[in-house]
Amino acid sequence: MAQQTYPSPSSGPAAPQYGPPAHAYGPPAPAYGPPAPAYGPPAPAYGSPPSGFGQPPVGPGLPPAGFGQPPAPRRRTGAVIGAIVAAVFLLGGLAVGAVMLFGTKILDSTEAEQLISQATEDQAGVAPTDVSCPSDIEAEAGATFSCTASLEGQPITFTVTQTDDDGNVEVASVNSFVDVATVEASLTEQLGEVAGVEVVSTCHVNGHSVLVDGVGTPIPCTVSNAEDASDSVEVAATVDEDGTVSYEVE
């Protein structure tokens, strides 16, 4: 009988396979049906959010300065209405000299009216009209009488006090006066600082340059961007007895 022979098993690692694996040709099979839902609450995000997250942009992204954001509801400044007595002015202590009619003990009402008119214009900057003082006032030290006038259509009254019996008098206004131009200047300074731009203020006071008895009374004004009149804000300005100008955004 012939002897059979068997091959010996190979020892060691298999020979490496060279070249890329075979490609799977054609598109992958589509996955049918909706994706499986994620159950349960989302995982919490631990730690602080990154810098700037949820915060307004800083730098070039900011809107331009102006009244895009309303200014502070109310601001105050010092006594800035430059005038006669502090901010709001009273025409007081005006020594208008002797107003005696020559050779009599009767005051010269016409001369008194002229002196009152000139003194008012010198201090208020506006000449009054229709100044009227009573006639036939006898000279008497310490005696008083009243004179009336109109200032830009606003009635005003003066108290005249005789300082002696020789016709020397002093005049004091019964009314207070507010200088509109200085109110506007104060608003321009305050709101220009708030808005960060140059502004122009205009108060709507029927063309008056001086307001009679304007202390404590709201004054309607418009403050506008000097380069863009459509960028504006309406405010009510108020002047207190010390001449302090404050405002409230309307």
Is 149 in the same domain as 183?
no
Task: Say which residue the tokens 């005003």 belong to.
Answer: 156
Whether the per-residue pLDDT at 52 is higher than 70: the answer is no
Is 149 in the same domain as 102?
yes
- Domain-located, residue 49: no
Is 107 in the same domain as 168?
yes
Q: According to the model, what pLDDT value does residue 82 have? A: 32
Is 133 in the same domain as 195?
no
Q: According to the model, what pLDDT value does residue 65 have? A: 57
- Domain-located, residue 44: no
The 10s digit of each residue's pLDDT in 34-49 is: 555 555 555 444 444 3
Q: According to the model, what pLDDT value does residue 124 have? A: 82
Last residue of a domain, one of 176, 208, 226: 176
Average per-residue pLDDT for the chain? 73
Domain that holds residue 212: 178-249
The 10s digit of each residue's pLDDT in 210-238 is: 999 999 999 999 999 999 999 999 999 99
Whether the per-residue pLDDT at 13 is higher than 60: the answer is no
Pick the more confident residue, 57 or 176.
Answer: 176
- Domain-located, residue 110: yes
In the structure, what pLDDT confidence band is assigned to residue 15 with cuts at 50, 70 and 90?
Answer: very low
Across 43-52, 93-102, 234-243, least confident range = 43-52
Q: According to the model, what pLDDT value does residue 67 have? A: 66
Last residue of a domain, one of 159, 176, 193: 176
Whether the per-residue pLDDT at 188 is higher than 50: the answer is yes
The CA-CA-CA angle for residues 55, 58, 63, to 5°, reads 100
Give the predicted TM-score (pTM) of the model. Answer: 0.63
